[in-house]
Amino acid sequence: MRKTSVFFEKAFRGYKVPEKIRETSEEICNVFNINGICDPMYISNVIARESGSGDGESTFTSDEIKNIRVIAERLQYAYGSIISRNDIPKLEKILLGQREDEVLSN
């Protein structure tokens, strides 16, 4: 079930997350049905920290997303009850910029 923009506005309120990282975090939450209000920021911080695009503590320096495999493995570990090891390729596709309809059709 896709979360509404109201959910994400609340989750990101008070933070300046680069658009590319924010959209990627939102997509991960939607594809894997991750519902916690703190999860979008946690995912954004993992992406930023592992990409060198931020400090992992809500300070962002760019919107670059790299080290895709490392990020996917960290998120799979953190959300192991929701994201299986078999889902790592799907996570990687999302991190590379594919959206839900593209990811689910592959």
Instruction: Transcribe the chain into DSSP letters.
Output: -PPPHHHHHHHHTT----HHHHHHHHHHHHHTT---TTHHHHHHHHHHHHHTSB-SSS-BS------HHHHHHHHHHHTTTTS-GGGHHHHHHHHTT--HHHHHH-
pLDDT per residue as tens digits for the range 14-54: 999 999 999 999 999 999 999 999 999 999 999 999 999 99
| Better-predicted residue by pLDDT, 72 or 103 | 72
Q: Is residue 103 part of a domain?
A: no
Look at the chain and report how many structural domains it folds into. 1
pLDDT at 96: 97
Q: What tokens were used for 85?
A: 């090891």
| Cβ–Cβ under 8 Å, residues 94 and 106 | no
Q: Is residue 81 part of a domain?
A: yes
| Orientation angle between helical segments 19-31 and 88-95, nearest 10 degrees | 150
Quick one: what percent of the chain has pLDDT higher than 90?
A: 87
| Better-predicted residue by pLDDT, 44 or 104 | 44
User: Can you tell me the distance from the alpha carbon of 85 to that of 80, in angstroms, rounded to the nearest whole number?
Assistant: 8
pLDDT per residue as tens digits for the range 44-90: 999 999 999 999 999 999 999 999 999 999 999 999 999 999 999 99
Q: Is residue 102 part of a domain?
A: no
Is the pLDDT reported for residue 105 higher than 80?
A: no
Domain range for 70 is 5-96
pLDDT at 3: 73
pLDDT at 106: 57
Q: Is residue 105 part of a domain?
A: no
Q: Is residue 34 part of a domain?
A: yes
Q: Is residue 104 part of a domain?
A: no
